Every structure is written in C-alpha cells, then in structure tokens.
Amino acid sequence: MPTRKNPSSHRPTNAHRREQRRAVEEHERELRARAPQPTSSPRRERKRSTPIWKRLRLIAVVLLLIGLGQLVTAALTSSQFRVADVTVSGAQITDADKIADVQQSLVRQNWVRAQTGAAIKQISALPTVKSVAVSRALHWPPHLHIAIVEREPFVRVGAGENWWIVDESGVPFRRAQKSEADEKLFAVTNPKFEPDLGKPLTKENWEPTFQLVSELSTQKPIWPLRRVYFDKNGFAALRLKGGKHDEMLIRLGGDRWPEKLERARLALEYFDRTNQRASTLNLVSYIMPQWTPIRPVQATSTPVETAFTPDA
C-alpha cells in the first residue's frame, strides 16, 4: 500500500520567509541607491518690471540712431552738401591755370565723397610742387582747401645758356631767370647732369653736389664763386669771382672738402699778406698743396707751380 505524502513538507519555513524578505529589502535598497535623487527646484524669483527711465533711454537711443542715419543719407546725397568753393594756399610759382582746373573739378562734388585723391595726384605731378594736401573745411556752405608746399631753390645746375633751378632733393623744377635771387645761387656744372623738368637727378651724381654746396653755404663769409665744377671723375673745383683773386681756380679733388676749404682760406690770406696772386691753387693732395703764381708778362710766360705751406 503506497505511502501518502505529507503536504506540509512543501510549505516554506519561517527561516526561509525571512531570507526572502531580506533579499527583497536588499534589492529595494540597491534600487533606491542607484535611482537619481530628486533635486529641489529653486524658487523662481518674480521678474521685476523695467524702470521707466530705462525704457525712455532705449527710445532716445533708437530715435538718435534714426536721426543719424537720416543725416548721413542727406550728407551723401543732398544737393546742399555739394562743394561750393575750393580755396588754395602756398601757390606762388605753380601754374595757376592747372590749379584752377583742379579746383573746378572739385566744385559741386559731394563734400563727403569728393575725389580728393585724384586732385592730390594731379597737383603733385606739377614740377614746382613738393607736397600737397586737400582738407574738408568745417564751413558752411561746404568747401575744400588745397594746401601746397612748393620746392625751394637750392642751386643752379647747367652750362652755357642752359640753366635750371634745383631743390635740395635734386629735382629741376623751373628754368633759371636773370634775377638777383637766382644769380645768388651757386652755379654747378657737371658733365654727368642731364636736367629735365620735374625729373630728379641721379642719386650718385647729385649727392656729391649736395654735400659740397651745403658746405659752401654754411661757411662764413660766403664764398664769392663764379662756378662750381665737377669733372667726369667726380673731382670738384671752384672758380672765384671778383676781388684780387678773380678767376682763380681752386682744385679740391674728391674728398675732405671741409678741410680743404679751410686750407684754401689760409692760402688766400697768405696771398693777400704777401701781395701775391695765383691762377691756380691745387688742393687735390691735402698734404702737399701747390699753387701757380701769376707772374708779370715781361718776366716769364710759363706758369710755375709752387709748394704752399699753410703755416708760412
């Protein structure tokens, strides 16, 4: 006869139930630990209303911008902003007709958009103009102003009847005239010079001339010269004018010009003190200067070179 199973043997025991509850509680704790913690939302502050003065300021700024836009538009397009006149200063020897053409081209242009660059380019091309600037004058009705700086005479360059007035930068800007002002300028002859109106002389040929003429201009008393010569080798010579030593030639060579000019003055003082005259004073060699005296015709017709001692 088969044995009957006791159903109570399949029921969980109290220890088993406690183990299950413990497992469930641990699982819930793990879930709570892993779950994101709720954050408390910050309390929203009540938005304050914009003060009335800020609103008014914003309105004023907008109106100002609109007004400025209207003003700029009017300045660029209105006929009231057209150039009514163009004045000029500094023009003494520059061609007045060519300046007038530039003035006329600027009149009735818009004061803001006027083509001043083209005007500057046109006037700068004139040989007598050293620099030029065009400015917008704060004046009503609108007008422009052209300020010209002209070239200043520095020396005469040429030969025979062909002479040019040249400024310090070596630019021939006009023909020499038979005026007292032009005649006072030192006259320089150089076979390498090819003067052309408004075209600078070559730098390598002009620099020695500038150095010597600058030195002659600073010395006192001023040298009375008929001509300053440069030969093809760059050696300089002076031809005196007037007084006891009229037409006397002083050879300076190509170096030490300030020292040689001082020695030339000592030689002239020596000639005056000893009542002698020379046709040539040769200072090419600074250490061994020589001079050729002018002797009476009946005594000899052959010039003789004599050593000159500055301390004599």
- Residue 46: is its pLDDT beyond 90? no
Which pTM was predicted?
0.69
- The Cα angle at residue 196 between residues 192 and 202, in degrees rounded to 5: 45
Strands 249-253 and 236-240: antiparallel
Q: What is the per-residue pLDDT across 207-260, written as a single tens digit (0 to 9) for each?
A: 999 999 999 999 999 999 999 999 999 999 999 999 899 999 999 999 999 999
Residues 173-192, mean pLDDT to the nearest whole number:
95
pLDDT at 10: 52
Domains of the chain: 79-150 (3.10.20.310), 155-307 (3.40.50.11690)
More confident residue, 38 or 285: 285
pLDDT at 312: 45
Sheet with strand 236-240: strands edge to edge: 172-175, 162-166, 155-159, 187-189, 225-230, 236-240, 249-253, 278-282, 290-293, 306-307
Specify the residue for token string 């004046």.
139
Write the CB contacts of 142 (distance below 8 Å, at least 6 apart in sequence).
81, 82, 83, 84, 111, 136
pLDDT at 74: 54
More confident residue, 40 or 132: 132
Tell me whether residue 60 is exposed, middle or buried, using C-beta atoms within 10 angstroms of its C-beta: 0 to 12, 13 to 18, 19 or more.
exposed
pLDDT at 169: 95
- Residue 266: is its pLDDT beyond 80? yes
Tell me whether residue 234 is exposed, middle or buried, using C-beta atoms within 10 angstroms of its C-beta: 0 to 12, 13 to 18, 19 or more.
middle
Mean pLDDT of the chain: 84
Residues 89-110, mean pLDDT to the nearest whole number:
93
149 φ/ψ sector (left φ>0, alpha ψ -120 to 50, else beta): beta
Residues 295-301, mean pLDDT to the nearest whole number:
52
